[in-house]
Chains A and B, each alone.
Chain A
Amino acid sequence: MRNFLLVALLLLPSMLPAQNLSDETALVEDDEPEPVAISTEPVRLSFKNRPSLRIGEFANVDFKTKWHLDFLGFDPPKWDAPARVSSLPSTPPTFYLTRARVGLKGSITKYFDYEIERDLRQTFGSDHEWHPWKDNYVDFNAHRWLQVRAGKFKVPLGMEANMSEDRLDFAFKARTTDVLTPGRERGVMLHAQFLKSSRMQYQIGVFRYDGEGADIHGVPTAGRTYAARLTGEPLRSVRRLPRSIRHIYLGVAATRGRMFDGLNGVNGSTFSNFTFFDHLYVRGNRQRIGAELSWVEGPVTIKGEYIHMSEERIHQGIRGENLPDLLSRGWYVMGGWNVLGKLKSSGRPENPLFTGRGFGAVELSARMDVLTFYSGPGPGLPSRSPRAPTILPNGERTWTFGPTWYLNRFVKIQAHAQREWLTDIERKAVIGQNLFWTGVIRLQLAM
């Protein structure tokens, strides 16, 4: 029954374009609701780009779904299965259902937007999901400079972390994003666009915990957390600059929250879940500072991000002494080149396969990602102990590269390889191994 349901859900998006071939050129942004067609019918069901129900001008409901079907290969051919406690690494599966999300998104009157999303991987027996509910929030549009979002959504820190999963440049998120960004959390956030000429946006929020990304086996590691982010294209108004420079997107963000006492420091692990930097004992505040940049010119894309995180270790020495903060630093730079076909700014091909007259678009991309854990100077020799005054640094350098084939607005195929190299050979995740390769061929179905 599960398999039948899985197949039925997977076939759904591929059937939809067949009904709307002529409408393919009228693409809309993914995050925007379907345009309300002028209609005299009070209730209208449409299947333009996705199933959509409209109740006059009062409300609309769009059905959303995202599927990531991954064919994986690991070297060494072992992994620690996610969300499981295991003494021994196991042989990873060749096929892995990484995302199986369904949801609803829409608006009620002009004042409220909402989204509900759930991951169904566990339903299909693929994996244990600590947090199956994803974005679930309501946005109240109080003023054009003030919107209030309440519910569960992404904490505003990290460019890649705050991007929709179906718009990611790589099948693998940067390790910096995976490890140092907070992810989703329940909270309240004020946000809006301002200075529309510069497309500036602010986000200020308070959250119940520090985000699911910082959880350990589903349990939060820090309490109430405050976050703020400012993004946009501030150079747009500087007319003296070349046009290509004026479109640079920049952003800064920060979070601060009080950690729960204990073995709750950030940890580093490879994509195959082998730990190379274990949790440390922490007490005090966790603070993140992030900066982001994106530049798109013609077929070329360059993006980069930097995140610095500090975690206090008050009274965490073996004899109760204060220890220097645990510091974590990550950054990445990526470049993409649209070698075949053309991509729109929305990330969709101009000439889609099946639904248009082309073959879609192909982009080659590569990313370098560096993640480092260390501490301020303390007494004694650097050590890997979770109560070490001076932490012996460890880090990971990751290269990710490969092509992405955008077939049409619904389907994307990515063939990416990832090379992870650990700097501290003595704290290697697997005996005799500090180099890890992962390959993935991902079929993405999304609407």
Chain B
Amino acid sequence: MRNLAIALVLTSLAVLAFCSQTFAQTQDDLFNGDVLHEIRLYIAPEDYVTFKETNFLCQTQDLEALAGEVISPLPRVVCHFPVEFYWKFNGTYVTLPQASIESHGKGSRSNYKPSFKIDFSRYESRNTFLGLRYLVLRANTQEPSAMHERVAMEFFRKMGIRAPREAHARVFLNDQYAGLYTMVEQIDPIFLQRNFGEGDGRLYGYEWVDYWTFDYRGPDSLKYSPLPLKPENNLIYLDPQPIVEMVRTINEAPDAQFSSVLSQYIDLPSFFKELAAESFIAEQDGIIGDYTLNNFFLYRFAGTLRSIFLPWDKSNAFWAIDRPIFHNFSWNLLTRRALAAAPDLIAFYRDSLQQAADIAGGPGGWLEQEITKEAEQIRQAYYDDPLKLCDHHATGYLRPCTNEEFEAEVAYLIQFARQRSAFVQAQLNSGLILQ
């Protein structure tokens, strides 16, 4: 009897130990940047064929449908496919057998090496994976280091900006190595809850459709949402009117009250901090990028008119070491008016740039260390990647990439990390504003 009791206790302890090992994973484990993760996806082969067939049609169809009620030129384009999802943690696979994938990306979209958005809750709305409803697997097809995105987001978070968490992973599709990917936390109500303690406000993703610099397009809310500001979390009651008012205020607020009036609609300190971070990492395709507004989410807090901008997609960061700190400021309506009428905001922007320079450091500083660490971590997985693509100077043409290009880009990033702070510091000291 005594032996039986001991056996039962030991068995219970063993089960508990196994459970704690198996079920103790957290989101922090998934986005642990110290580990090169492994993801396995299983998809019906015929679904993957369809996935590639409809990859670009889905993007077009979504935009057409958002632009208006367009009768489909095709009978029906299937864009979501069921998959089994596995993540390897401490040698054990953690699985979600009924997840869904869809293609992800705009300029980076590729059939050769597609990016995936995994939806854990598509078939079970309460389903999450470690509390996440979505996980983006970025193929990093636009730049040869496969690190721009992750390094940039690490830097944003270091600056105190709410940015997605990221980590690299080897991805296997039906047990075949599909390449090196970056796992990206989706900006969704769960992200909002974690960062702001609420997720019931209005979340919009910015869909680039034409050049827009916050110029007022009139009182018709359809000029602003569902395009270019695509509703993400409430598709029934869109409530786009505060966006119209926000843009009208950007354009029409009197100079003397520009900051105070606009601050009803935008969290201006966080906005200018994000601009400073983007500017420091020489982001070419962001809020004040070369293509005008792009790559951000807008979240309007529940029960208020006030919104915050959240960063997204930093493929084109680290564009040039000598990219001026006020680049495109005169192009964007908001920054142009801030330059003319809100010295407090510009001063905050300069302070934030100083903070960015301090955080990045110069030679041997945080930024160089981060780049070196990530390069070491992913090098072999990148070399093994049979499908790696790049488009080094944003030509719009994705082409196969080589290991030599990877090494050259890593060397450039290290050079950027060593020299950018000094360049920004020099610009801040020069007092130069418009360029």
A residues with CB within 8 A of B: 76, 78, 81, 83-90, 128, 216-219, 261, 263, 281, 316-320, 380, 383-388, 426-427, 430-431, 433
Contact = CB atoms under 8 A, between A and B. Distances in A.
Interface in B1-54: 42-46
B98 A385 contact: yes
5 contacts: A78-B236, A87-B66, A89-B236, A318-B84, A387-B44
Most buried by A among B72, B78, B82: B82
Contacts of A90: 69
Interface in B97-125: 97-98, 100, 122-125
Contacts of A316: 44
Contacts of A387: 44, 82
A79 to B, nearest CB: 11
Contact of B123 (A128, A219, A281, A388): A388
Please give me the 6 A-B residue pairs with the lowest Cβ-Cβ distance, nearest first. A85-B72, A219-B75, A384-B123, A87-B65, A385-B98, A383-B98
A91 to B, nearest CB: 10
A317 B124 CA distance: 18
Contacts of B226: 87-88
Given A84-B71, A384-B123, 8 more contacts: A86-B69, A88-B66, A89-B235, A216-B76, A281-B44, A316-B44, A319-B42, A427-B125
A128 B71 contact: yes
Nearest to A76: B236
Contacts of B97: 380, 383
B398 interface: no
Interface string B64-106: 1110011110011010001110000000000001101000000
B72 A426 contact: no
B194 interface: no
A437 B110 CA distance: 43
Contact of B238 (A86, A88, A320): A88
A384 B122 CA distance: 8
Interface residues on B, range: 20 to 34
Contact of A385 (B46, B62, B123, B235): B123
A384 B75 contact: no
Contacts of B234: 431
B82 A386 contact: yes
A445 to B, nearest CB: 28
A211 B100 CA distance: 31
B172 to A, nearest CB: 15
Nearest to B235: A88
Given A76-B236, A427-B125, A318 B83 contact: yes
Most buried by B among A85, A216, A383: A85
Contact of B98 (A83, A89, A388, A430): A388
B126 interface: yes
Nearest to A215: B75
Given A76-B236, A78-B236, A387-B44, A217 B123 contact: no
A37 to B, nearest CB: 47
Contact of A217 (B44, B69, B75, B124): B75
Main secondary structure, interface of A, reads loop
B66 A320 contact: no
Contacts of B64: 85
Contacts of B43: 318
Contacts of B44: 281, 316-320, 387
Nearest to B73: A85
Contacts of B66: 87-88
B231 interface: yes
Contacts of B238: 88
Given A318-B83, A318-B84, A81 B69 contact: yes
B82 A84 contact: no
Contacts of A384: 98, 122-124
Most buried by A among B44, B65, B83: B44
Nearest to A90: B69
Contact of A430 (B65, B126, B231, B236): B236
A83 B75 contact: no
B186 interface: no
Given A85-B65, A384-B124, A426-B124, A431 B72 contact: no
Nearest to A386: B82
A86 B76 CA distance: 11
Contacts of B84: 318
A176 B155 CA distance: 57
Contacts of A88: 65-66, 226, 231, 235, 238
Given A263-B78, A385-B98, A388-B123, A87 B62 contact: yes
Nearest to B41: A318
A426 B64 CA distance: 28
B65 A431 contact: no
B72 A217 contact: yes
Given A319-B42, A384-B124, A386-B82, A86 B65 contact: yes
Interface in B228-247: 231, 234-236, 238
B71 A431 contact: no
A385 B44 CA distance: 13
A78 B231 CA distance: 16
Nearest to A216: B76
A261 B47 CA distance: 12
A426 B100 CA distance: 16
A319 B123 CA distance: 18
A222 B132 CA distance: 38
Interface in B344-398: none
Nearest to B61: A85
A89 B234 CA distance: 11
A385 B82 contact: yes
Nearest to B121: A426
Contact of B125 (A87, A219, A426): A426
A380 to B, nearest CB: 7
A83 B98 CA distance: 29
Interface in B214-267: 226, 231, 234-236, 238
A218 B42 CA distance: 32
Contacts of A281: 44
A385 B72 contact: no
B76 A217 contact: yes
A90 B235 CA distance: 10
A431 B236 contact: yes
A433 B236 CA distance: 10
A320 B47 CA distance: 11
B71 A85 contact: yes
A383 B127 CA distance: 11
A317 B98 CA distance: 11
A84 B70 contact: yes
B379 to A, nearest CB: 33
Interface string B286-311: 00000000000000000000000000
Nearest to A430: B236
Contacts of B70: 84-86
A168 to B, nearest CB: 27
B123 A383 contact: yes
B163 to A, nearest CB: 26
A216 B236 CA distance: 24
A219 B69 CA distance: 20
A261 to B, nearest CB: 8
B70 to A, nearest CB: 7
A90 B72 CA distance: 16
A389 to B, nearest CB: 10
